[in-house]
Chains A and B, each alone.
Chain A
């Protein structure tokens, strides 16, 4: 594994009964990158996230995280190793307040000398959640719920963040704000990010590299412009050879 590689997916397949959701998928992510994972509905993006995060076990292949094979390692240990994620549909702890939702992750991942309370505070400030510290998720807007989920994901030494459709359901202004937050995590905190997103123009502006899945297979991997003009990608998205993201 290259020294600056934080994630390597090696020949991963996932079969559900007779359905092959992922077929021999391989990709790697380098430290500090923002990588977009795209593909039509049912392409296998969320399944790949499930396998990388450990919520699902791959039928075949390996997941190498920060140099260690974590294919059989539980999700909580992967989290403590520095990999975190959000869900396509926001999944907060409804019986905990905003602050508790974030603090619980910080506590679980903190080492003995870590100032996790200070970290929770600073993450809430970064995400403009301080005024909502004592609110429960059910009282909040979708945008705030998404921010809490991101806050919960980045505390506790998060080095690799998987974002699953973080912008879906948001207004343009809310989406712009969240994109700014996500990019600042990358540029200011050095968090490596893999994003699944359907708002392609936004993704193209965020990501340095795009990986395209279709029917569970990687059909393209490269710079956004390169991928946008890829014949297979255009066919997968539009069934024709027009520019895929135009």
Chain B
């Protein structure tokens, strides 16, 4: 096998593994937009909050971030419900300039609070999985990334199952389609939106737990993650959960290919080109519905 082919396969496989996690935090972002038309620019900071929360659990108990998923998930769920009820509720259905500015303000508040608590230094954990590699012929994969990918696939599968098969999921889809008509059939939009936003934040928390296994965190991490969630959501189709996951995988594969065959420093450049191309020519993305608002 030539070295180019090996590099190509390695880049594709690594992209797939990293993309699972991108997909995981992108579906949270997409859920908030799809159901409530909230463009939550603080979503990257919520992922970062999840990373810091997992880091804190690790510091206090020595537990691996994967074991911190339940507690961090619950913590971010509560934070999400609170954020929704206190701030975002008044902007439901209106992706207005005020809503965007409020989200940016929230992201800054989260950044500042975390910087005050943890300082500006980059922090990471010594995960058992993060430091070990699966080696197969010329290919190598971090166990941390494999575990993160598995968690991401499970979360997306469970969410998709909930949305498609359960009463709660059908209610969320109904509210996403038409909140006023949903109330007319007896659905309490406020409660459903609160749950949906809390779930979106819970997914951010879980993404934070798996990300910190192999990706150290500092107060600027959220800002670095946010564009990926945005681009993945646009590529996949605004409001589409499966689309956001697919978009996350595409983003990561594009990054890995660019990094391998061009330059690691330029790995994000094609993503922004993709963003522009999709917004200009395919505004509904790969799996978005044309009825999406």
Q: Which of A85, A87, A94, A100 contacts B170 (CB 8 A)?
A: A100
A107 and B169 CA atoms in complex are apart in Å by: 13
A103 and B291 CA atoms in complex are apart in Å by: 22
Stretch from B143-151, B175-183, B210-218 contacting the other chain: B175-183
Distance (Å) between the CB of A136 and the closest chain B CB? 10
A53 and B182 CA atoms in complex are apart in Å by: 12
* B182, B186, B187 interface centre (most CB from chain A within 10 Å): B186
Pairwise interchain contact B185-A95, C-beta atoms closer than 8 A? no
Q: How many residues of B contact A (CB 8 A)?
A: 20
Contact flags A67-90 to B (C-beta < 8 A → 1, else 0): 000000011100110001101000
In the bound complex, residues from chain A placing their C-beta under 8 Å from that of B181 are: 87, 91-93
Q: Which of A76, A80, A93 contacts B178 (CB 8 A)?
A: A93
A104 touching B185 in the complex, CB below 8 Å, given contacts A55-B180, A93-B178: yes
Pairwise interchain contact A85-B188, C-beta atoms closer than 8 A? no
Q: Which of A54, A55, A94 contacts B177 (CB 8 A)?
A: A94
A103 and B183 CA atoms in complex are apart in Å by: 14
A79 touching B176 in the complex, CB below 8 Å, given contacts A93-B181, A104-B170, A104-B171: no
**CB of A152 within 8 A of chain B?**
yes
Distance (Å) between the CB of B89 and the closest chain A CB? 14
Closest to B190 in A: A74
Pairwise interchain contact A105-B173, C-beta atoms closer than 8 A? no
A105 and B187 CA atoms in complex are apart in Å by: 8
Pairwise interchain contact A96-B177, C-beta atoms closer than 8 A? yes
Closest to A81 in B: B186
Pairwise interchain contact B173-A96, C-beta atoms closer than 8 A? yes
In the bound complex, residues from chain A placing their C-beta under 8 Å from that of B173 are: 93, 95-96
**CB of B289 within 8 A of chain A?**
yes
**CB of B233 within 8 A of chain A?**
no
Q: Which of B184, B189, B289, B291 contacts A85 (CB 8 A)?
A: B184
Closest to B290 in A: A138
Within 8 A of A (CB), among B137-164: none
Pairwise interchain contact A84-B184, C-beta atoms closer than 8 A? yes
**CB of A156 within 8 A of chain B?**
yes
A116 and B204 CA atoms in complex are apart in Å by: 36
**CB of A208 within 8 A of chain B?**
no
In the bound complex, residues from chain A placing their C-beta under 8 Å from that of B90 are: none
A105 touching B289 in the complex, CB below 8 Å, given contacts A55-B180, A93-B177, A96-B177: no
Pairwise interchain contact A79-B177, C-beta atoms closer than 8 A? no
A108 and B178 CA atoms in complex are apart in Å by: 16
Pairwise interchain contact A95-B289, C-beta atoms closer than 8 A? yes
Pairwise interchain contact B289-A156, C-beta atoms closer than 8 A? no
A87 and B170 CA atoms in complex are apart in Å by: 21
A94 and B288 CA atoms in complex are apart in Å by: 13
A55 and B181 CA atoms in complex are apart in Å by: 9
Pairwise interchain contact B187-A108, C-beta atoms closer than 8 A? yes
**CB of B174 within 8 A of chain A?**
yes
Within 8 A of B (CB), among A92-132: 92-96, 100, 103-105, 107-109
Within 8 A of B (CB), among A52-69: 53-55
Pairwise interchain contact A74-B188, C-beta atoms closer than 8 A? yes
A238 and B2 CA atoms in complex are apart in Å by: 86
Contact flags A13-42 to B (C-beta < 8 A → 1, else 0): 000000000000000000000000000000
In the bound complex, residues from chain B placing their C-beta under 8 Å from that of A76 are: 183-189
A91 and B291 CA atoms in complex are apart in Å by: 12
Distance (Å) between the CB of B263 and the closest chain A CB? 42
In the bound complex, residues from chain A placing their C-beta under 8 Å from that of B182 are: 93
Distance (Å) between the CB of B242 and the closest chain A CB? 12
Name 22 A/B residue pairs within 8 A (Cβ), A-sorted. A54-B183, A76-B183, A76-B187, A76-B189, A79-B183, A84-B184, A84-B185, A87-B181, A91-B181, A93-B174, A95-B173, A95-B176, A95-B177, A95-B289, A100-B170, A104-B185, A105-B185, A107-B167, A108-B171, A108-B185, A108-B187, A156-B185
A interface vs B, CB < 8 Å? 53-55, 74-76, 79-80, 84-85, 87, 91-96, 100, 103-105, 107-109, 138, 152-153, 156
Pairs of residues from A and B, 8 with the lowest C-beta to C-beta distance, nearest first: A108-B186, A105-B185, A75-B183, A79-B186, A93-B177, A91-B181, A93-B174, A76-B183
